[in-house]
């Protein structure tokens, strides 16, 4: 039921965007009609607006897509929470979720990638923390440290004490991260947990003992690619 609710929230976000898009098109159409009536120009405006509106609908439908995937059942598998390309793998200190040294995997999302994120493990939400910041281009690696972001902490249902952090980092265009979960929620593996709009990045913080299963430059799919094994 929780996943169905989160999917509905994705549709709600898409509907709001389409409403704004349509309102903008109507405004331009009204201006075009006035220009045509008063000055005799703008005759072909409406046909072009219809074409632009159709293209916009197709784009937003593509952008807000939320694939329903068959989820890996092995509790040892940590699934990729995001669709995109692995552009960094390193070790860092993460005090809020993992509580010390951890492995970090960074995934870059282009505007053409799926922009919903999935729960990498089954477990309980320990933290949902929003941090204001800049809106640098997500292609720049330093954006992970200074951009506005939301940090989500999850404790494994199968391995008590095993915690994984997911940092959702806003990009330069839409500048919006929308989590669909709250502290205390119980998650199933592969459940839709958030939406980042129009190109960004996701950092995943893993306990140092896990075995990584991805490499730099690899294309990954949310809730499909095995990120690591506990």
Q: Which residue has the higher pLDDT, 19 or 156?
A: 156
48 and 147 belong to one structural domain: no
* 70 falls within a domain: no
C-beta of residue 120 within 8 angstroms of C-beta of residue 204: yes
Among 143, 156, 200, 223, the active-site one is 200
Last residue of a domain, one of 23, 39, 63: 63
Q: Which residue has the higher pLDDT, 175 or 215?
A: 215
pTM over 0.95: no
Mean predicted lDDT score pLDDT of the chain: 82
Residue 185 and residue 62: Cα distance in Å, rounded?
29
Sheet of 84-94: strand order equals 186-187, 123-131, 149-156, 163-169, 200-206, 100-109, 84-94, 219-220
Residue 153 and residue 183: Cα distance in Å, rounded?
9
Q: What residues make up the domain containing 35?
A: 2-63
Domains identified in the chain, total number? 2
199 and 102 belong to one structural domain: yes
24 and 121 belong to one structural domain: no
Q: Look at residue 135 in the predicted model and tell me its pLDDT.
A: 84
Q: Which residue has the higher pLDDT, 217 or 145?
A: 217
Residues 6 or more apart in contact with residue 155 via CB below 8 angstroms:
123, 124, 126, 161, 162, 163
Residue 99 and residue 106: Cα distance in Å, rounded?
19
CATH of the domain at 156: 2.70.70.10
45 and 142 belong to one structural domain: no
Nearest CA among 86, 126, 82, 115 for reference residue 103: 86
- 44-78 pLDDT, tens digit each: 555 666 666 666 666 666 566 677 777 777 999 99
145 and 91 belong to one structural domain: yes
* 200 catalytic per annotation: yes
- 185-221 pLDDT, tens digit each: 999 999 999 988 766 899 999 999 999 999 999 999 9
* 68 falls within a domain: no
Instruction: Decide if pLDDT at 18 tops 90.
Output: no
Least confident of 131-140, 149-158, 198-207: 131-140
Q: Look at residue 1 in the predicted model and tell me its pLDDT.
A: 43
Per-residue pLDDT band for 80 (boundaries 50, 70, 90) equals very high
| % of the chain exceeding 90 in pLDDT | 51
* 128 falls within a domain: yes
| % of the chain exceeding 70 in pLDDT | 69
């Amino acid at each position: 039921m929780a996943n169905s609710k989160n999917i509905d929230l994705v549709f709600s976000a898409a509907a709001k965007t389409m409403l704004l898009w349509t309102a903008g098109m109507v405004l331009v159409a009204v201006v075009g009609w006035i220009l045509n009536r008063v000055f005799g120009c703008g005759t072909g405006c409406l046909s072009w607006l219809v074409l632009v509106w159709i293209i916009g609908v197709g784009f937003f439908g593509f952008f807000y897509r939320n694939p329903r995937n068959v989820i890996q059942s092995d509790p040892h598998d940590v699934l990729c929470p995001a669709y995109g390309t692995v552009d960094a793998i390193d070790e860092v200190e993460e005090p809020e979720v993992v509580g010390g040294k951890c492995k970090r995997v960074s995934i870059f999302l282009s505007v053409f990638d799926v922009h919903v994120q999935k729960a990498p493990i089954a477990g309980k939400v320990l933290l949902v923390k929003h941090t204001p910041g800049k809106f640098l281009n997500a292609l720049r690696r330093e954006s992970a440290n200074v951009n506005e972001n939301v940090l989500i902490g999850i404790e494994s249902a199968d391995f008590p004490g095993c915690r994984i952090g997911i940092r959702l980092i806003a990009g330069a265009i839409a500048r919006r991260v929308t989590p669909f979960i709250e502290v205390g929620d119980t998650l199933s593996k592969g459940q839709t947990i958030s939406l980042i709009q129009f190109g960004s990045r996701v950092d995943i913080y893993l306990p140092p003992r896990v075995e990584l299963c991805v490499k730099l430059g690899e294309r990954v799919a949310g809730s499909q690619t095995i990120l690591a094994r506990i």
